[in-house]
Amino acid sequence: MIDGLNNTVVESDIVPAPHPTGSVNNYGGNAFISQDKRITNANQGAREYDNTKDRRWKIVNPSRKHYASGNEVAYGIMAKGAWECLKGSEGSFARERAAFAEKSVWVVKDVEGPLGSERMWPAGKYVPQT
């Protein structure tokens, strides 16, 4: 939760600027931009790291602004170390039990309430020795 309950996740890819080399906006040809995509529902929540775009995520609260920058209040998730996903063979026990490890990040809405009510248990509720 970032400064309240109204949070979302934004995926950012760093890509070359669309302006041609020599133009006013990209004179030296080395400009780049951040392309942002809001993750709006759990169906879009399983995300993969893309090192060719230096992909990263941030948890933002669009209803709160930073006092100095005026941007949305946010925390960044840097996943460079997590881009290697599960290495188990197809049909292996590890893949069956930890299929969630196929993706670098899972974005899901947390549900307030008693422990166990509508919570996501990606590896099962009782993981050790099961």
Domain count, the chain: 1
pLDDT at 3: 66
Tell me the three state secondary structure of residue 13. Answer: strand
**Considering the domain boundaries, does residue 55 fall inside one?**
yes
| pLDDT tens, residue order, the chain (130 aa) | 566 678 889 999 988 889 888 889 888 888 888 999 999 888 888 888 888 888 889 999 888 888 898 988 888 887 665 555 666 667 777 677 777 777 777 777 766 555 555 556 666 666 555 4
**Considering the domain boundaries, does residue 129 fall inside one?**
yes
Q: Which residues contact 25 (CB under 8 A, 6 or more apart)?
A: 17, 19, 31
Contact 2, 59 (CB under 8 A): yes
Residue 37: give the domain boundaries.
1-15+31-130
pLDDT at 45: 86
Tell me the three state secondary structure of residue 56. Answer: strand
**Considering the domain boundaries, does residue 24 fall inside one?**
no
Which among 104, 65, 69 is positioned nearest to 83, based on CA atoms? 104
pLDDT at 51: 80
**Considering the domain boundaries, does residue 48 fall inside one?**
yes
pLDDT at 130: 47
Residue type, 127: V
End-to-end, the C-alpha distance of the chain in Å comes to 31
**Considering the domain boundaries, does residue 25 fall inside one?**
no
Contact 60, 69 (CB under 8 A): no
CA angle 78, 100, 115 (to 5 degrees): 95
Model pTM score: 0.61
pLDDT at 94: 67
